[in-house]
Structure 1
Amino acid sequence: MAGLQRGGAVPQSITVHAKSRVLEVGFSDGAVFRIPFELMRVYSPSAEVQGHGPGQEVLQTGKREVDLLGLDPVGNYAVQPRFSDGHDSGIFSWDYLYRLGADQAQLWAEYERRLAEAGVDRDAPMTPAAGHSHGHGCSH
């Protein structure tokens, strides 16, 4: 799977902090990250968010209050979160979670830049993307 490196750090603990809306992940190399649910949702590795190639990413908005309803294991390499807005198709490898934690400042800055370029507010409601429905079937 893309984003999975041999010998990479693996989670030793994963704690969902519902009130503060963060996922705390402690890795085998000693790193501990508190990853906001919003950041996870905005950067979900799913095709619904990332598109099917460079330049096809779908800018996510209105995710500040998103909750994590569940976190399902995927083999020994990832978790699949279920978010309160119905999104549940992103599979987060250990390396991807590590990147979200380690690169949070850079990822937030990139997100804010993309919002500014699009002229939309972080809290604006999502509008259906042209040609895409919520039941994204990857049929094209």
Structure 2
Amino acid sequence: MSAPMPTGVHYHQRSRELALTYDINGESQSFRLGAEMLRVYSPSAEVRGHSPEQAVLQTGMKYVGLKNITPVGNYALKLHFDDGHDSGLYTYAYLWEMIENRELWWDDYLHELKKANASREPLGIPLQRQ
């Protein structure tokens, strides 16, 4: 199946999850991606580098959230994170790939953190979000 285009996009502030709704075979289906996962798997060069060897492991992103979502044409979303990151374009194909692989990618991320002796927890004192 080629990547479908979402029919709805909604950000849930409390749970820090992006809900994407799709029409699949005439049925409305919704999937959620956490802001932390979206941030650590940003398609930006800042995160991914220009090759796999240049990728930068994102740490301390447990409480990251979204400030804004901007549609880009009919093919992508630009996500504006509350840590200032906003340089990646999340194509609808990439978002669908994330949905299909979210468990595997999350396990890989946790493995890489452990291997690097790094943490999801931010450095310093976490701020209370309203």
Sort the TM-score into its range (normalised by shorter chain).
0.7 to 0.9
Q: CA deviation at 1:38?
A: 0.3
TM-score by length of 1: 0.81
Q: CA deviation at 1:55?
A: 1.3
Residue 80 of structure 1: aligned partner: 78
Q: How does 1:83-98 map to 2 (within 5 A)?
A: 83-98=81-96
The whole-number CA distance in structure 2 between the counterparts of 1:124 and 1:18 is 19
Match of 1:65 among 60, 63, 74: 63
4+ aligned runs moved over 2 Å, structure 1: none
CA-to-aligned-CA distance 1:23-44 (integer Å, 9 cap, x gap): 0001232442110000000000
Q: Which has the higher helix share?
A: 2
Match of 1:18 among 7, 10, 13: 13
Q: Percent identity over the alignment?
A: 40
> May I ask how many residue pairs the two structures share in their alignment?
120
Give RMSD over aligned pairs. Answer: 1.5
Q: Which has the higher strand share?
A: 2
Q: CA deviation at 1:8?
A: 2.7
The whole-number CA distance in structure 2 between the counterparts of 1:85 and 1:8 is 29
Q: CA deviation at 1:98?
A: 1.0
TM-score by length of 2: 0.86
Match of 1:9 among 4, 28, 49: 4
Structure 2: 5+ residue stretches without partners? 124-130
The whole-number CA distance in structure 1 between the counterparts of 2:60 and 2:3 is 33
Q: Kindly provide the amino acid, as one letter, of the partner of residue 102 in structure 2.
A: Q
CA-to-aligned-CA distance 1:91-116 (integer Å, 9 cap, x gap): 00001111112211101100011111
The whole-number CA distance in structure 2 between the counterparts of 1:78 and 1:112 is 27
**SS in structure 1 opposite 2:104?**
helix
